[in-house]
Amino acid sequence: MSLFQKHQTALTKAIVALQNRQFYCHHPEHHNAYPKEKAKEGYEAFEGKLNKPFEELLQTGGTEWIGNEESPFWQKSLGITYPQTSIEVLIDNAQTAFKSWRKVSIEERAGILMESIDHISQRYFEIAYSTQHTAGQSFGMSFQASGPHATDRAVEAIAMAYQELTRFPRQTEWVKPIGRTTVSLQKSFLPIPKGIGLAIGCSTFPVWNSVSGIYANLMAGNVAILKPHPTGILPIAIYIAELQKVLQENDFSPNTVQLAVDSPSNLITKELAEHPAVKLIDFTGSSEFGNYIESLQSQGKEVFTEKAGVNSVIIDSAPNLRQVMRNLAFSLSLYSGQMCTAPQNIFIPETGVKEGEELIPYERVVDLLQNEVAAHVLNPRMKVTLGTIQNPMTLQRARMAKNLGGKVVLRPPKVKYEQFPEARIQSPTIIEVNADQISVFEKELFGPIILVIKTKNTQESIDLAQSLASKQGAISCAAYTTDKNIAAQITEAMNAAFTPVSLNLTGFIFVNQAAAFSDFHVSGGNPAGNASFADPNFVNRRFVWIGNRVME
C-alpha cells in the first residue's frame, strides 16, 4: 500500500470539511484524549534536550552550533544549540532537492506529507513543553496551538493544495470541427512549482503560524526553508526533523525542507529573503518588517504576510451583560493579549448599553468589564490562561501603559505561578479614553493592554472600528447587539474593510479562535496581511498552470 492509499480516507475527509466549512479535527485537540503516560514521556523528552545540541536534523552543511532560547517561565536559557548553515549552502541544498521533488506526483507528495503529520502527532507533548518554554504559552494552549491545531492547519494546506492541483485533467484530447473535417490535439496540463519557499517564523506562535506555508509549498512541489525566530526554535525544529525523517525514509533528500537558524546579533532573514533563488516568502510578525517583506514583490517574489492589526469590540446591547463581559475577560486575558486575533479596542457608547429592556449606564458597563477581567486573572483555575510574556520588550510596554494618556480603569492585578515563581507574567491593564483620542488607540499595542473607548453612540463605534480596520488592519471583530438591523450594519461595515465579525459570542467560544477547515485566518484584504489561511489563493500562487499541445 502506498502512503497516498494509506492516508487517502483522511485526506478526503479534510477536503470535504474544506468544502462544507464544517468542524473537523484531524487529531483530538485536548491533551486528556491521549494516554496519560504520553505527558510524562513528552516532558522527559523535552527535558532531555536541555543544554545539549539538537542532533535530529538530517539536513547537510552545518558548520557550527548556536542557540539563544530562554524560558519565560524559568527566565533562564534552555541551553539548546542547533546546526547553523550558511545561506549559500542552504540555497544549494534546496536547489538540488528541488530537481527531484518537483517531479514527484501530487499523490505521492500528499502521502508523504500526511505521513509526516502522523509522525509529528507522536510528539505532541514534547512539542507542547517546547512551546511552553519558548513562546511562554500555558501548557494547555501550547499543546493545542503547536500540536493538533497546527497540524490541522498543515492538513488544511495539503487538502487545499491537492484540490487545486487536481482541478484540471492531466491529459485530454481536444477536437475542433473545421468545416467538413476536424483537427485534433493531445493536450496536457501541468502545475509547475516556482522553486524555493522561505517561511519566516515568529516567537509567539513558532509552529501554528509557520506550518501552513511550509506544507503548502511542499504540496505544490516547491522546497522549503524555515527561518525561525531566534527565541522560538525548538518546537518547529521537531516538526522539521520529523519531515526530514519521512522524506529520507522514502528516498527523498531531507534537504527538501531545511531549518535556517540565526542569532539576535547576526540575523540572516533579510539576506535570505532577498536572495534571487528564493521565489516565495511566508511571513508572520510586525507590520514594519511585514511591509518590507511585501516590498520584495517588486523583485518578482510571491509574498504571503500576516502582520499586526487593531482588533475591535463593539458593544451595543445584550440579553446578559455579565455573560458578555465574562466571555471578553477570557479573550482579553488569553496569552496576555499576545495573539494576533486578540481584541484591543472596546467601543462603548456613553449613552449606555441596553440589557434586555433596561439601559445600563456607561460607567456600570465599564465597571462590569474591569470586575470580570480582574476576577478572571485572580481565579486560581483561570489565571493560567495568561501564560507568560514572551518578549521582555512586551512586558516593558505593558508596564508603561499607564502613561498612554487616559484614565486607568484597571491596574494589572498581581498574579504569580506557584509552580514557576520566576515567570515573566503580567495581567491586563484597562485604560479608558475618549473617541477623539485616536492617537492612543489607532495602533496595535501588543500585549496585555485593553482600551475602552467612550463613543457618542453605536454609530460612532462602528465608524471608528471600520476606519481603523481599513487604515491599520484588523484580523477579528467582536460585536454584541440584540438589534438585527444594527447587527447587519456592523457586519456590512466591517466586511467592507475585509474584517470578519463574530456576533454575540458567550460561553466557550471566543473571538480569538480560528478553526482550521472552516475559518479563514486573516482575510488578506486589509493592512493586517495580504494572505489567508487557507483560501485557494494561498496555494494557487505557489505554482503555475502550463498547457502543452501535441498534434499526432
* Cβ 134 vs Cβ 231: under 8 Å: yes
Residue whose grid cell is 527565541: 231
- Reported pTM: 0.96
Spatial contact of 409 and 431, defined as CB atoms under 8 Å apart: yes
pLDDT band of residue 415 (cuts 50, 70, 90) is: very high
Q: Model confidence over 47-58: pLDDT tens digits?
A: 999 999 999 999
On the question of pLDDT at 534 being above 90, the answer is yes
Res 43: pLDDT: 98
> Which tens digits make up the pLDDT trace of 183-226?
999 999 999 999 999 999 999 999 999 999 999 999 999 999 99
Residue appearing with cell numbers 500526511: 114
Phi, then psi, of 341 in degrees rounded to 5: -95, 0
Q: Report how far residue 262's alpha carbon sits from residue 259's, in angstroms, rounded to the nearest whole number.
A: 10
Question: At 292, is the pLDDT very low, low, confident or very high (cuts 50, 70, 90)?
Answer: very high
> How many CB atoms within 10 Å of residue 259?
27
Crossing angle, helix 124-135 and helix 234-249, to 10 degrees? 150
CB atoms within 10 A of CB 222: 24
The stretch 540-550 carries a mean pLDDT of 97
pLDDT at 320: 97
Beta 181-193 vs 543-550: how paired, if at all? antiparallel
Q: How confident is the model at residue 338 (pLDDT cuts 50, 70, 90)?
A: very high
Averaged over 483-493, what is the pLDDT?
A: 98
Q: Is the pLDDT confidence value at 409 over 90? A: yes
Going by C-beta distance under 8 Å and a sequence separation of 6 or more, which residues neighbour residue 353? 315, 316, 317, 318, 321, 359, 360, 362, 365
Which residues lie below 8 Å from residue 436, measured CB to CB, with a gap of 6+? Answer: none
**Domains of the chain and any CATH numbers:** 11-307 (3.40.605.10), 312-503 (3.40.309.10)
Q: Alpha carbon of 480 to those of 306, 357, 394, 509: distances in Å?
A: 26, 15, 29, 14
- What pLDDT is attached to residue 552? 80
Q: What is the DSSP string of 263-286?
A: BTTB--HHHHHH-TTEEEEEEES-
Per-residue HEC secondary structure of 392-416 comes to HHHHHHHHCHHHCCCEEEECCCCCC
Listed in sequence order, the residues at least 6 apart from 460 whose beta carbon sits closer than 8 Å to its beta carbon are 347, 349, 435
**Residue 550 reports pLDDT greater than 90:** yes
Mean pLDDT of 70-98: 98
Spatial separation of the C-alpha atoms in residues 376 and 509, rounded to whole Å: 16
Contact criterion met (CB below 8 Å) for 197 and 102 = no
- Rounded mean pLDDT of 321-345? 97
DSSP, res 478:
E
Q: Is 323 exposed, middle or buried (0-12, 13-18, 19+ CB in 10 A)?
A: middle
- Longest Cα separation, the chain: 88
What's the per-residue H, E or C state across 157-216?
A: HHHHHHHHHCCCCCEEEEEEEECCEEEEEEEEEEEEECCEEEEECCCCCCCHHHHHHHHH
Mean pLDDT of 495-511: 97
At residue 383, the pLDDT reads: 82
Instruction: Give residue 20's pLDDT band: very low, low, confident or very high (50, 70, 90).
Output: very high
Instruction: Tell me how far apart the alpha carbons of residues 192 and 222 are, in angstroms, rounded to a whole number.
Output: 9
* Mean pLDDT calculated for residue range 473-500: 98
Of 542, 486, 437, 546, whose CA–CA distance to 217 is shortest?
542
Q: Is 478's pLDDT higher than 90?
A: yes
Of 549, 551, 541, which is closest to residue 193 (Cα–Cα)? 541
Query: φ and ψ at 162, to 5 degrees?
Result: -60, -45
Asked whether 302 and 280 are in contact (CB, 8 A), the reply is yes
Cα(324)–Cα(355) distance, rounded to whole angstroms? 11
How far is Cα 153 from Cα 515, in angstroms, rounded to an integer?
A: 9
Q: For the chain, give the mean pLDDT.
A: 97
Query: Rounded CA gap, 256 and 247, in Å?
Result: 8
Q: What is the pLDDT of residue 382?
A: 87
Q: Please compute the mean of the pLDDT values over residues 430-434 and round it to a whole number.
A: 98
Q: Is the peptide bond before 534 cis (omega within 30 degrees of 0)?
A: yes
CA angle centred on 113, ends 108 and 118, rounded to 5°: 125
